[in-house]
Structure 1
Amino acid sequence: MKTIVLTAFFLLELIAMFAFGYWGYHIAGTVKIIIAIVVPVCVMVIWGMVLAPKASYAVFSYPTRTGLKLVVFALAAAALYTSGQHAYGIAFLILSILIIVTVFINDWHKI
Protein backbone atom coordinates (compact mmCIF):
# COMPACT_ATOMS: atom_id res chain seq x y z
CA MET A 1 0.00 0.00 0.00
CA LYS A 2 2.77 2.44 0.92
CA THR A 3 4.54 1.89 -2.41
CA ILE A 4 1.36 2.58 -4.35
CA VAL A 5 0.64 5.79 -2.43
CA LEU A 6 4.21 7.04 -2.76
CA THR A 7 4.21 6.27 -6.48
CA ALA A 8 0.92 8.13 -6.88
CA PHE A 9 2.40 11.04 -4.91
CA PHE A 10 5.36 11.18 -7.30
CA LEU A 11 3.02 11.05 -10.29
CA LEU A 12 1.08 13.96 -8.80
CA GLU A 13 4.32 15.95 -8.68
CA LEU A 14 5.00 15.24 -12.34
CA ILE A 15 1.43 16.07 -13.35
CA ALA A 16 1.62 19.31 -11.38
CA MET A 17 4.70 20.37 -13.35
CA PHE A 18 2.90 19.51 -16.58
CA ALA A 19 -0.15 21.50 -15.43
CA PHE A 20 1.96 24.60 -14.80
CA GLY A 21 3.53 24.26 -18.24
CA TYR A 22 0.14 23.71 -19.88
CA TRP A 23 -1.21 26.78 -18.13
CA GLY A 24 1.79 28.85 -19.18
CA TYR A 25 1.40 27.81 -22.79
CA HIS A 26 -2.28 28.72 -22.86
CA ILE A 27 -1.75 32.26 -21.65
CA ALA A 28 -2.51 34.62 -24.50
CA GLY A 29 0.44 36.50 -25.88
CA THR A 30 3.78 36.05 -27.53
CA VAL A 31 5.63 34.91 -24.40
CA LYS A 32 3.59 31.75 -23.87
CA ILE A 33 6.45 29.38 -24.70
CA ILE A 34 8.78 31.18 -22.30
CA ILE A 35 6.16 31.08 -19.53
CA ALA A 36 5.43 27.41 -20.28
CA ILE A 37 9.09 26.63 -19.58
CA VAL A 38 9.96 29.11 -16.82
CA VAL A 39 7.00 28.53 -14.48
CA PRO A 40 7.47 24.74 -14.11
CA VAL A 41 11.23 25.16 -13.75
CA CYS A 42 10.73 27.73 -10.97
CA VAL A 43 8.28 25.44 -9.19
CA MET A 44 10.74 22.53 -9.52
CA VAL A 45 13.59 24.59 -8.06
CA ILE A 46 11.48 25.78 -5.12
CA TRP A 47 10.18 22.24 -4.59
CA GLY A 48 13.70 20.84 -4.55
CA MET A 49 15.05 23.53 -2.25
CA VAL A 50 12.22 23.65 0.29
CA LEU A 51 9.69 20.81 -0.08
CA ALA A 52 11.69 17.72 -1.08
CA PRO A 53 12.52 15.11 1.59
CA LYS A 54 16.22 15.96 1.27
CA ALA A 55 15.66 19.67 0.67
CA SER A 56 18.60 22.06 0.71
CA TYR A 57 16.73 24.47 2.99
CA ALA A 58 14.54 22.27 5.14
CA VAL A 59 13.11 25.13 7.19
CA PHE A 60 9.73 23.49 7.74
CA SER A 61 8.74 20.34 9.59
CA TYR A 62 7.59 17.35 7.55
CA PRO A 63 3.85 17.89 8.25
CA THR A 64 4.19 21.54 7.22
CA ARG A 65 6.00 20.57 4.05
CA THR A 66 3.26 18.07 3.23
CA GLY A 67 0.67 20.83 3.69
CA LEU A 68 2.67 23.14 1.43
CA LYS A 69 2.80 20.39 -1.18
CA LEU A 70 -0.99 20.36 -1.10
CA VAL A 71 -0.92 24.11 -1.78
CA VAL A 72 1.30 23.49 -4.83
CA PHE A 73 -1.07 20.76 -6.02
CA ALA A 74 -4.06 23.07 -5.51
CA LEU A 75 -2.34 25.75 -7.58
CA ALA A 76 -1.66 23.17 -10.30
CA ALA A 77 -5.34 22.17 -10.23
CA ALA A 78 -6.30 25.84 -10.51
CA ALA A 79 -3.89 26.19 -13.43
CA LEU A 80 -5.61 23.31 -15.23
CA TYR A 81 -9.04 24.70 -14.40
CA THR A 82 -8.24 28.22 -15.63
CA SER A 83 -6.75 26.89 -18.87
CA GLY A 84 -10.06 25.29 -19.77
CA GLN A 85 -9.46 21.77 -18.45
CA HIS A 86 -12.18 21.96 -15.80
CA ALA A 87 -12.72 18.24 -15.29
CA TYR A 88 -8.98 17.52 -15.09
CA GLY A 89 -8.47 20.38 -12.65
CA ILE A 90 -11.21 19.16 -10.33
CA ALA A 91 -10.09 15.52 -10.61
CA PHE A 92 -6.48 16.49 -9.90
CA LEU A 93 -7.51 18.47 -6.82
CA ILE A 94 -9.63 15.63 -5.45
CA LEU A 95 -6.88 13.07 -6.09
CA SER A 96 -4.29 15.35 -4.47
CA ILE A 97 -6.41 15.74 -1.35
CA LEU A 98 -7.00 11.98 -1.11
CA ILE A 99 -3.29 11.20 -1.41
CA ILE A 100 -2.26 13.92 1.07
CA VAL A 101 -4.86 12.67 3.57
CA THR A 102 -3.55 9.12 3.13
CA VAL A 103 -0.02 10.36 3.81
CA PHE A 104 -1.19 12.13 6.98
CA ILE A 105 -3.26 9.22 8.27
CA ASN A 106 -0.37 6.77 7.80
CA ASP A 107 2.24 9.24 9.08
CA TRP A 108 4.34 9.08 5.91
CA HIS A 109 5.36 12.76 6.08
CA LYS A 110 8.94 12.18 5.03
CA ILE A 111 8.02 12.12 1.35
Structure 2
Amino acid sequence: MKGALRGLIFLLELALLSAAGLWGFTLDAGWPVRLLAGLGAPVALAVAWGAFCSPRAAVALPAPAKLGVQAACFLAGGVLLTLAGHPLLGAALVVTWTADKALLLHSGDPA
Protein backbone atom coordinates (compact mmCIF):
# COMPACT_ATOMS: atom_id res chain seq x y z
CA MET A 1 0.00 0.00 0.00
CA LYS A 2 2.81 2.41 0.86
CA GLY A 3 4.33 1.87 -2.58
CA ALA A 4 1.09 2.84 -4.31
CA LEU A 5 0.71 5.93 -2.11
CA ARG A 6 4.30 6.97 -2.81
CA GLY A 7 3.72 6.45 -6.53
CA LEU A 8 0.65 8.65 -6.37
CA ILE A 9 2.61 11.36 -4.54
CA PHE A 10 5.19 11.30 -7.34
CA LEU A 11 2.48 11.65 -9.99
CA LEU A 12 0.94 14.51 -8.01
CA GLU A 13 4.32 16.25 -7.90
CA LEU A 14 4.50 16.00 -11.70
CA ALA A 15 0.94 17.34 -11.92
CA LEU A 16 1.98 20.24 -9.68
CA LEU A 17 4.77 21.20 -12.07
CA SER A 18 2.43 20.83 -15.04
CA ALA A 19 -0.15 23.07 -13.34
CA ALA A 20 2.45 25.80 -12.88
CA GLY A 21 3.46 25.56 -16.53
CA LEU A 22 -0.15 25.59 -17.73
CA TRP A 23 -0.82 28.72 -15.71
CA GLY A 24 2.19 30.50 -17.17
CA PHE A 25 1.46 29.59 -20.75
CA THR A 26 -2.20 30.64 -20.46
CA LEU A 27 -1.54 34.11 -19.07
CA ASP A 28 -3.18 36.98 -20.91
CA ALA A 29 0.14 38.57 -21.85
CA GLY A 30 2.63 38.68 -24.66
CA TRP A 31 4.48 35.54 -25.64
CA PRO A 32 7.74 36.50 -23.87
CA VAL A 33 5.89 36.83 -20.55
CA ARG A 34 3.98 33.58 -21.13
CA LEU A 35 7.20 31.79 -22.02
CA LEU A 36 8.99 33.13 -18.95
CA ALA A 37 6.08 32.31 -16.63
CA GLY A 38 5.37 28.95 -18.27
CA LEU A 39 8.94 27.81 -17.79
CA GLY A 40 9.86 29.84 -14.71
CA ALA A 41 6.97 28.86 -12.43
CA PRO A 42 7.63 25.10 -12.66
CA VAL A 43 11.36 25.68 -12.21
CA ALA A 44 10.73 27.82 -9.11
CA LEU A 45 8.49 25.14 -7.60
CA ALA A 46 11.01 22.41 -8.46
CA VAL A 47 13.83 24.37 -6.84
CA ALA A 48 11.78 24.96 -3.68
CA TRP A 49 10.76 21.30 -3.57
CA GLY A 50 14.32 20.12 -4.11
CA ALA A 51 15.73 22.48 -1.50
CA PHE A 52 13.21 21.72 1.25
CA CYS A 53 11.07 18.65 0.51
CA SER A 54 13.00 16.03 -1.43
CA PRO A 55 14.65 13.08 0.32
CA ARG A 56 18.02 14.67 -0.50
CA ALA A 57 16.95 18.21 0.41
CA ALA A 58 19.71 20.79 0.76
CA VAL A 59 17.98 22.23 3.84
CA ALA A 60 16.89 19.70 6.45
CA LEU A 61 13.62 20.90 7.94
CA PRO A 62 11.75 19.46 10.91
CA ALA A 63 8.84 17.29 9.79
CA PRO A 64 6.11 19.89 10.52
CA ALA A 65 7.97 22.58 8.56
CA LYS A 66 8.58 20.20 5.64
CA LEU A 67 4.88 19.34 5.61
CA GLY A 68 4.07 23.06 5.62
CA VAL A 69 6.28 23.71 2.59
CA GLN A 70 4.72 20.76 0.76
CA ALA A 71 1.23 22.00 1.57
CA ALA A 72 2.13 25.52 0.41
CA CYS A 73 3.44 24.15 -2.89
CA PHE A 74 0.28 22.14 -3.53
CA LEU A 75 -2.00 24.98 -2.49
CA ALA A 76 -0.09 27.20 -4.92
CA GLY A 77 -0.62 24.58 -7.62
CA GLY A 78 -4.34 24.52 -6.90
CA VAL A 79 -4.54 28.30 -7.06
CA LEU A 80 -2.54 28.38 -10.32
CA LEU A 81 -4.89 25.82 -11.90
CA THR A 82 -7.84 27.91 -10.77
CA LEU A 83 -6.28 31.03 -12.28
CA ALA A 84 -5.71 29.10 -15.51
CA GLY A 85 -9.46 28.42 -15.68
CA HIS A 86 -9.55 24.93 -14.14
CA PRO A 87 -10.91 25.32 -10.61
CA LEU A 88 -12.14 21.73 -10.29
CA LEU A 89 -8.74 20.37 -11.30
CA GLY A 90 -7.11 22.75 -8.82
CA ALA A 91 -9.34 21.51 -6.03
CA ALA A 92 -8.78 17.90 -7.08
CA LEU A 93 -5.01 18.37 -6.96
CA VAL A 94 -5.10 19.76 -3.42
CA VAL A 95 -7.67 17.27 -2.10
CA THR A 96 -5.92 14.28 -3.63
CA TRP A 97 -2.54 15.35 -2.24
CA THR A 98 -4.07 15.94 1.20
CA ALA A 99 -5.73 12.52 1.28
CA ASP A 100 -2.64 10.73 0.00
CA LYS A 101 -0.36 12.55 2.45
CA ALA A 102 -2.71 11.79 5.35
CA LEU A 103 -2.76 8.09 4.44
CA LEU A 104 1.03 8.03 4.18
CA LEU A 105 1.46 9.74 7.53
CA HIS A 106 -1.11 7.43 9.12
CA SER A 107 0.84 4.42 7.84
CA GLY A 108 3.98 5.74 9.53
CA ASP A 109 5.69 6.84 6.31
CA PRO A 110 7.14 10.37 6.62
CA ALA A 111 7.41 10.77 2.83
| Residues in 1 aligned to 2:6 and 2:83: alpha-carbon distance in whole angstroms | 28
1:50-88 deviation per Cα after TM superposition (whole angstroms, max 9, x unaligned):
111110121x11343123212211110111111111221
| Residues in 2 aligned to 1:91 and 1:43: alpha-carbon distance in whole angstroms | 19
TM-score (norm 2): 0.91
Unaligned runs of 5+ in 2: none
| Residues in 2 aligned to 1:99 and 1:27: alpha-carbon distance in whole angstroms | 30
| Residues in 1 aligned to 2:108 and 2:63: alpha-carbon distance in whole angstroms | 10
- Please, which moves more after superposition, 93-102 or 15-24? 93-102
Structure 1 letter corresponding to 2:70: K
1:20-59 deviation per Cα after TM superposition (whole angstroms, max 9, x unaligned):
011111111111011100111111111111111110121x
TM-score (norm 1): 0.91
Structure 2 letter corresponding to 1:45: V
- Confirm or deny: 8 A CA contact 1:70 1:100 kept in the other structure: no
| Residue of structure 2 aligned with 1:50, choices 34, 44, 52 | 52
Count of residues paired in the alignment: 109
Q: Secondary structure at the match of 1:57?
A: coil
1:1-23 deviation per Cα after TM superposition (whole angstroms, max 9, x unaligned):
00000000011100000000111
1:80-91 matched pairs, under 5 angstroms? 80-91=81-92
Query: What is the root-mean-square deviation in Å for CA atoms of aligned residues?
Result: 1.2
Unaligned runs of 5+ in 1: none
Pair 1:23-2:1 in alignment: no
1:7-22 matched pairs, under 5 angstroms? 7-22=7-22
Q: Percent identity?
A: 25
